[in-house]
A and B are shown apart, each in its own frame.
Chain A
Amino acid sequence: MDQRTRHTLIVGSREDAGITFVKMDGSLSATTSDQGIQEMKKIVDAGAKKVVVNLAGVDYISSGGIRVLMIAHKQLSQVQGEMKIAGAKGMVKEALEASGFHLLNRVYGGNIQLCSTDEEAAAAFKN
């Protein structure tokens, strides 16, 4: 693993047909969680309602990183938004599943959801 990526997180976003696609690269760890929270807050504050967070470029996630997603989701739900997580793989997927993310679907009726690709995630939005 590249030494650099464990301590860096790059967040990029683009909008397409009312859906904000957020792409994260690097590592979602305790080191980068504050940055991640800020970046996600900016995106939500900018008015995004439907957010797809693509984690294909993330190779490590810790509990601090999961918190980034939790907080983003909480902020989104306050404005009746929805969040999908796409592209998680390897240990990131395992960690998210172990944390019970896929179970949250039942509680939130798909407001937060693990999907495999951006397209699947975009299609998963209710309207």
Chain B
Amino acid sequence: MTPTSLGDSESGWGFILPGMCDPLLAISSMLLGGSAAYVILSLAERMRATDQVRLKWRWLSIGAVAAGLEIWALHFIGNLAFCPQTPTEQDLLPALASVLSAGTAGAVAVYFISSYDGSRTRLVCGGLLMGTCVSMVHFTSLLAMRQLVDLHVSVLALVFSILMSVALGIAVILLGAWNITYGGWRVTEKASAMGLAISGAHFSGMIHAYSAPVITAGVSPPGIEVELLAVVVVALSSVLAIIDRQLTTASSLVRDTHARMVEAIESVPQGVSLFDADDRLVICNRKYREVVSEEGIEVQPGDSFESIIRRIALRGDIPAAIGDVDSWVNTRLAMHRNPQGPYIQYRSNGEWIQVNEKKTQDGGVIAISTDITELKQAEQAAEDATARLADSLALVEAAKARMQEELNVGRDIQRSMLPRVFPAFPDRKELELYAMLEPAMEVGGDLYDFFMVDDHRLCFAIGDVSGNGVPAALFMAMTKIMVKTRAMSDPSPASIITYVNDALSADNDSCMFVTLYLGLLNLRNGTLVTTNAGHNPPLLKRQGGTFEWLKSQDGPIVGPIPGIAYKENMIQLDPGDELFFYTDGVTEADNVRRELFGSDRLKTLLERSGEVSVVDRIGEVMKAVKAFSHGAPQADDITMLGLRYHGIAPSGVEMEVFRQTMPNQLTAIPVLQTAFEDYVAQWSGARPLIPTLNMALDDLLNNVVQYAFPNDSVPHHIVVEGDVRDGSVVLTITDDGIPFNPLTVAAPDFALLLHEREIGGLGIHLIRSMFDEVVYRRTVGHNVLTVKKKLASQEPPAPKEPDMTGIGALEGGRMPQSLLQDSRREGMSVESRQNGAVVIVTPLERFDTNSAPEVERILMDHISHGVRQLVLDLSRISYISSIGVRVIVKTLMAMSKTGGNVVLYGGNDHVRTVIHLSGALMMSLHVPTLEEAMTKVQGADF
């Protein structure tokens, strides 16, 4: 080994002696230089590659330690190589300082190489720092060597050395950066080149230290330790290089993985971003970048999450943040730091972004942003559709409610059609009546009704229309109105139902029908006339008796079939009798076991209910039906009507209504007339009407007997009813003969009267003229003729027509006694007497159906015996009917053939009225007195 001086302060670097160099140590030193360079490059490269601050720090510190140690070792060995003879003992402190400086130099090298971005300032700074550190290494390591000789340091050489070090540092950084950025070389090749550069630089840099060597001979170097140390250091460096090689492989694996990961996240359509525990962006894909970046500001790894979101908020991307960016950012940050679930963000451009954030194991956050705009739009469309649906639903609901409302109105109308005020007739002591209807649906098909037709006749009805609902309700309403309208003018239930059936069956294609039970009860005498048209049989309970079915049937259901003639039945009710009517809603009520309530159960129930009011009876049945059904839905309307007849209240008048039946024999007429006279005579105001009523009875009954029963040998009954009330007399004649409406017979032609033919229609003409109302009705199987005449007022009645004949008022029956000679009674009802050539014939009492044949016979007898002057004395009859008038007409016709004369005289008001109404000819033959009659009949004015 050649001693070399470490420096010579006196001679400067002019005294440069080439040092003696231990070649082994020199090579070791150079290897170490390469090794250090390798470490620096490798670590700088890794540091640059990673995005994680923590990793950067790790690589930096490792670089500092490894490169530092090697740099120091490089110098140490280098020093040894140059001055092997110097003792190797070292001062601890400067040695440590030199190690630290070496470490700092390594760190500086790694940092500046890894972060080199072309900036000159950074390069110079790095070079300065590194140069300083390297110089420090040199200086302190020399200082640490305890030399037996004084170390003379040339200041100039020192400065030069420092400058060299700085230049070296700059070169190292430049080279390293160039190596990493552009070099196609492998790391080992780069390191070899750099190591050569470093060692070369040292060689030149160390010259100053050896420029003035003071060789102190005689000191033997420690010897073997140095060589050993060199070998150990080189071996260590080699091991380090091998480990590093492995690390590099591993890290390249990591890098590959990382690259694959990048590729993977780039291929994901969603925006992917990863933030570290400090909320710094670690990695993201292009999609994320597109979303959060803007012109000029690319989002970079290392950007803080807050800065990213603040930026997009500030540029107005987030409608929710506009106006108050800070609070939105804070909220968003809180959510980011503690992600709970998907977060949906609406963007100003109309996009919907769903952000899924998840904490990673190291405290970072991975965020996946999905563009769910389409989904949102679909959702929105679905929501709109739902809203529209809800609107439609609301409309339907409204329509339903309106329909319900209308149904309710329908129900109200329908209900209001039924009489519902009870007691129905509080001032009617003769009647107890109650009815109820429990509808199964809103509008039902059952009906009941009751009303007074006049002051003593009650009409009631109960019915059930097929089906229920609106059609049934309409049908029910029609039925009810028709029945009531018809009943006001038709006294026969059979007739009413026949009429209603014909009316309903017109245009009834759907075969709707109604079962009907109709009754007309005369409250004065308890006569009940009923017609059951396909309805459930009612029950009758006689006073003190039990409920019994009224099984009669008078015809089929009403509505589907036209042209049915219904029958009717008469039941005489006595005081205390009770009737129970119902619809099949009662008997066909069923329970959950589908059993029917049934008619037997109903009858038993009615029996058991005992003597209770009609209201209570119906209440009991209703209760029993409900109990039986036991919550099963009511299938059909339930309707009941109860009626109890209490009889008429006693009154002073014995016989309020006249009702008598007679056989269809003309001879029965007088008996009936007498009875009716007795009835009418009860009212003094009605007595003056007796002749007129007798005439009407005679004419009408004659008509009936003669025309209603042609070729009929079966005896029939004619019902005559009379009633004096409300200032009128009403007379009704009912027969069951063939239909015959006398009112259709034309009024007689009075111009032809009495000459050409027998008169027809005179009777009806008289009745029409003398009564206030004449009505014919054909009910089922019956002719009903009703006449009505007002009672005369207290004043004497004025003549009905102006007296054209001058007959004037004449007291009936007034007859000069002198003329009553040769009078002989020729029969039951007529007298005749002779006065000269004049024969006077006097009908007695009545001149009607029964007396007319006899009067006619006598008159014809006189004429056939040559009598040519005939006086008909009408002063002794109480009334004359058209049959009497017809006898007069016949007499006139017979006499006119012989050229004789007939004169009429006398008669009460009634008789004179009839004569007046019988035409002008009849009137012209009539004179007031017998004297005038005698004169007239013998006179020449014929």
Please give, as numbers and ranges, the residues of chain B lying within 8 Å of A70 by CB-CB distance: 511, 513, 557, 560-561
**Stretch among A12-20, A42-50, A80-88, A96-104 lining the B interface:** A96-104
- Say whether A38 faces chain B, with CB atoms less than 8 Å apart: no
Residue of B nearest to A65 (CB): B466
- Chain B residues with Cβ below 8 Å from A74 are 511, 560
Query: Does the CB pair A33–B467 fall under 8 Å?
Result: yes
Interface residues of B in 589-618 (CB under 8 A from A): 590, 593-596, 598-599
Within A29-77, the residues touching B (CB, 8 Å) are: 30, 33, 60, 62-64, 66-67, 70-71, 74
| Interface flag for B555 (CB, 8 Å) | yes
Cβ of B534 and Cβ of A98 under 8 Å apart?
Answer: yes
The chain A residue sitting closest to B556, CB to CB, is A100
- A107 interfacial by beta-carbon distance below 8 Å: yes
By a CB distance below 8 angstroms, the chain B residues around A3 are 594
Give A2 to B513 CA distance when docked, in angstroms: 29
Q: Check: B536 CB closer than 8 A to any chain A CB.
A: yes
A91 contacts which chain B residues (CB < 8 A)? 596, 598
* Chain A residues whose C-beta falls within 8 Å of the C-beta of B464 in the assembled complex: 63
Contact B513 A63 (CB under 8 A): yes
In this complex, what residue of B is CB-closest to A33?
Answer: B467
**CB-contact partner of A99 in B515, B588, B590, under 8 A:** B515
A74-B511, A74-B560, A91-B596 known; A100 and B555 CB under 8 Å? Answer: yes
A30 to B465, CA, bound (A): 12
Q: Are B511 and A71 in touch, CB under 8 angstroms?
A: yes
Given contacts A101-B556, A103-B556, contact A1 B467 (CB under 8 A): no
14 additional A-B residue pairs with CB within 8 Å, beyond A1-B593, A63-B584: A1-B594, A1-B595, A30-B467, A63-B467, A66-B557, A67-B512, A70-B513, A91-B596, A95-B584, A98-B553, A99-B534, A107-B563, A107-B564, A108-B561
How many Å lie between the Cα of A3 and that of B591 in the bound state? 11
Tell me whether B152 is interfacial, beta carbon within 8 Å: no
A-B contact count (CB 8 A): 75
B468 in the interface, Cβ–Cβ < 8 Å? yes
A95–B279 CA distance with the chains assembled, in angstroms: 90
Closest to A31 in B: B635
B533 at interface (Cβ–Cβ under 8 A)?
yes
Bound Cα distance A42, B593 (Å): 34
Residues of chain A within 8 A of B445, CB atoms compared: 63
- Among B533-547, those with CB < 8 Å from A are 533-537
| B713 surroundings in chain A (CB, below 8 A) | none
* Minimum CB distance partner of A101 in chain B: B556
Determine the main DSSP class of B at the interface with A: loop
Residue-wise interface mask of B (551-588) relative to A, using a CB-CB cutoff of 8 A (1 in contact, 0 not):
00101110011011000000000000000000010001
Q: Please state if A98 and B536 are interface contacts (CB–CB under 8 Å).
A: yes
A89 CB within 8 Å of chain B: no
CB closest chain-A residue, reference B535 = A98
**A107 contacts which chain B residues (CB < 8 A)?**
556, 561, 563-564
Question: Is A63 in contact with B465, judged by CB distance below 8 angstroms?
Answer: yes
Chain A residues near B556 (CB, 8 Å)?
A: 99-101, 103-104, 107
Check if A63 sits within 8 Å of B564, measured CB to CB. Answer: no
Closest to B563 in A: A107
Where chain A touches its partner, the secondary structure class is helix
- By a CB distance below 8 angstroms, the chain A residues around B513 are 63, 66-67, 70
Interface residues in B816-849 by Cβ distance below 8 A to A read none
Query: Closest A-chain residue to B465, C-beta based?
Result: A63
Question: A33 vs B510: C-alpha distance in the bound complex, in angstroms?
Answer: 12
User: Chain A residues near B560 (CB, 8 Å)?
Assistant: 67, 70, 74
Closest 5 CB pairs of A and B: A100-B556, A63-B466, A1-B594, A100-B534, A99-B534
For A99, list chain B residues within 8 Å (CB).
Answer: 515, 534, 556-557
| Cβ contacts under 8 Å, B555 to chain A | 100, 103
Give Cα A97 to B535, complex, Å: 10
Question: How far is it, in angstroms, between the C-alpha of A10 and the C-alpha of B468 when the chains are bound?
Answer: 23
Complex CA distance for A100 and B553, rounded to whole angstroms: 7
Complexed CA–CA distance, A19 and B537 (Å): 35
Best-buried of A63, A94, A98 by chain B (most CB within 10 Å): A63
Q: Which residues of B come within 8 Å of A, CB atoms?
A: 445, 464-468, 510-513, 515, 533-537, 553, 555-557, 560-561, 563-564, 584, 588, 590, 593-596, 598-599, 635-636
Q: How far is the CB of B509 from chain A (nearest CB, A)?
A: 8
Cβ-defined contact, A6 with B594, below 8 A:
yes
What are the residues of chain B within 8 A of A67 when measuring CB–CB? Answer: 466-467, 511-513, 560
Nearest CB to that of A105 among chain B residues? B556
B445 nearest CB neighbor, chain A only? A63
Nearest A residue to B512 via CB reads A67
Can you pick out 12 interface pairs between chain A and chain B where the beta carbons lie within 8 Å of each other?
A6-B590, A6-B594, A63-B445, A64-B466, A64-B467, A66-B513, A67-B512, A91-B598, A98-B515, A98-B537, A100-B555, A100-B556
With a cutoff of 8 Å between Cβ atoms, the chain A residues found around residue B594 in the complex are 1-3, 6
* Nearest A residue (CB) for B559: A70
Complex Cα–Cα for A100 and B557 (A): 6
Residues of chain A within 8 A of B467, CB atoms compared = 30, 33, 63-64, 67
Q: How far is the CA of A101 from the CA of B588 in the complex (A)?
A: 19
Does the CB pair A66–B466 fall under 8 Å? yes
Name, among B468, B513, B534, B555, the residue most crowded by chain A CB atoms within 10 Å (CB to CB).
Answer: B534
A122 to chain B, nearest CB (A): 24
Q: Which of B563, B588, B595 has the most CB of A within 10 A?
A: B588
How far is B534's CA from A57's CA once the two chains are assembled, in angstroms? 23
Most buried by A among B466, B467, B533, B555: B466
| Chain A neighbourhood of B533, CB < 8 A | 100
Shortest B439–chain A CB gap in Å is: 14
Chain A min CB distance to B705 (Å): 29
A64 to B468, CA, bound (A): 9
Is the beta-carbon distance between B536 and A62 smaller than 8 angstroms? no
Residue of A nearest to B514 (CB): A63
A104 with B561, Cβ < 8 A, contacts A1-B594, A70-B513 known: yes
In whole Å, how far is B74's beta carbon from the nearest beta carbon of chain A? 108
A21–B148 Cα gap in the complex (Å)? Answer: 146
Q: How far is the CA of A66 from the CA of B556 in the complex (A)?
A: 12
Q: How far is the CB of B405 from chain A (nearest CB, A)?
A: 25
Give A101 Cβ to nearest chain B Cβ, in Å: 7
A6, B584: Cα distance in complex, Å: 16
When distances are taken between beta carbons in the complex, the residues of chain B under 8 Å from A63 are: 445, 464-467, 513, 515, 584
Cα A97 to Cα B557 in complex, Å, equals 10
Residue from B468, B533, B556, B557 having most chain A Cβ neighbours under 10 A: B556
In the complex, what residues of B have CB within 8 A of residue A98's CB?
515, 534-537, 553
Minimum C-beta distance from B552 to chain A (A)? 11
Q: Which residue of A lies closest to B592 (CB)?
A: A3
Taking the closest CB of chain A, its distance from the CB of B343, in whole angstroms, is 57
Enumerate chain B residues within 8 angstroms of A104, measured Cβ to Cβ: 556, 561
Provide the bound-state CA to CA distance between A60 and B596, in Å.
10
* Bound CA–CA A45/B405 (angstroms): 41
Closest chain B CB from A92 CB (angstroms) = 12
Q: Which residues of A are found within 8 Å of B515, using beta-carbon distances?
A: 63, 98-99
A residues within 8 A CB of B584? Answer: 62-63, 95
CA gap between A74 and B557 in the complex, in Å: 14
CA separation between A64 and B513, bound complex, in Å? 9
CB distance from B437 to the nearest CB of A (A): 16
Chain B's nearest CB lies how many Å from the CB of A6? 6
Q: Which residues of the partner chain A approach B635 to less than 8 Å between Cβ atoms?
A: 30
Q: How far is the CA of A97 from the CA of B465 in the complex (A)?
A: 17
- The docked-state distance in angstroms from the alpha carbon of A39 to that of B939 is 92
How long is the Cα–Cα vector from A1 to B590 in the complex, in angstroms?
11
Task: Report the Cα distance A19→B564, complex, angstroms.
Answer: 28
Which residue of B is nearest A27, CB measured?
B594
Contact residues in B for A108 (Cβ distance below 8 Å): 561
Query: How far apart are the CA atoms of A60 and B557 in the complex, in Å?
Result: 18
A17 CB to closest chain B CB (Å) equals 29
Contacts of A103 in B (CB 8 A): 553, 555-556
